[in-house]
Structures are given as C-alpha cells and as structure tokens.
Amino acid sequence: MATTSIYLNFQGNCEDAFNHYKKVFKTDLVGQVYRMKDAPLPPGAPKLSDKEANCIMNIALPILGGTLIMGTDMLESMGHKLKIGNNTTINLEADTKEDVDRLYKALSEGGSEMSAPMDMFWGYWGVCLDKFGIRWMFNCMKK
C-alpha cells in the first residue's frame, strides 16, 4: 500500500533529534535503523571517516495520526551542506516503479535539483525540487 512520510535532513545530529522526538511523541522507532556504513559506497566515492560511517542513513518514527517522519544525516565529505530548503522532503512510497515514474515526471516538470528514478540497493528511488521549491522523494521498495 502506498504511503507518504516527511523526510528530514540533519548535519550529523539525526540520531539525537530522533531520540528527542521519541520522547516528545511517546513512540518507538519502526524498521531497521541504517547507518552510512551499512550502504555500499558508490564507485569512486571516498572512504567514510568513522564519524560519518556511524551517521544515520535512514531512521523512521511514527508521530501523530499515522504520519511517519524519517531522517538522514548529510555528509560534508560528499559535499552535502544543510540549509533551510533542503532540510525537509515529502517522501512518496509508491506501490510500483511505474507509479514512481509517473509521479516523478509530473512533479519534476519545470523543477530543478533532479535525480531521475533509478535502482538502488533498497529499491527504486528518485528526488526532485518542484517548480514551487518543494522537495519530493520517490521510493518503491524491493519486494
């Protein structure tokens, strides 16, 4: 079943933030917490420092009304710099790759900062900033 969640970016303090949110919303994390060291490095990417290897790649927490917040740490070694505007993303988890492609095509039209949907180790993924300045992420998890 397709879902929507809010995806939050942090500059090295994602785990601290989610520990705080757990207390605020009185809920527990769902699914596996992935750290950067859990993902295969892209070809030609530099080796991560111990600090960055332990940063959060993906974490999820239910908040109110069935809404899920998810988060990640941005890595300075990869050129990521947190700023207002790239710290919040609406994540659309579609049922099929075709749904991802349709949503991406419609929301990326006239937009920028695009990464067309592609196969990743967890599923099918893409992202764009729409023409109104809203960041959208698209996922179709591997079955």
Amino acid 86: pLDDT: 75
Q: Which residue is it, tokens 């988060």?
A: 71
* Percentage above 90 pLDDT, the chain: 64
* Domain that includes residue 133, residue range: 3-141
Residue 100: burial class (beta carbons within 10 Å; 0-12, 13-18, 19+): buried
What does the alpha-carbon distance between residue 42 and residue 53 come to, in Å, rounded to a whole number? Answer: 14
pLDDT (tens digit, 9 = 90+) per residue, 33-89?
999 999 888 788 788 899 999 999 999 999 988 899 999 999 887 777 877 777 888
The conformation of residue 32, written as its DSSP 8-state character, comes to: P
Strand partners, 139: 93, 125
Coil vs helix vs strand at 21? helix
CATH number at residue 46: 3.10.180.10
Domain tally for the chain? 1
Single out the residue of 117, 111, 106 nearest to residue 139, CA to CA.
117
What does the alpha-carbon distance between residue 11 and residue 59 come to, in Å, rounded to a whole number? Answer: 14
Of the two residues 92 and 45, the one the predictor is more confident about is 92
pLDDT at 5 over 80: yes
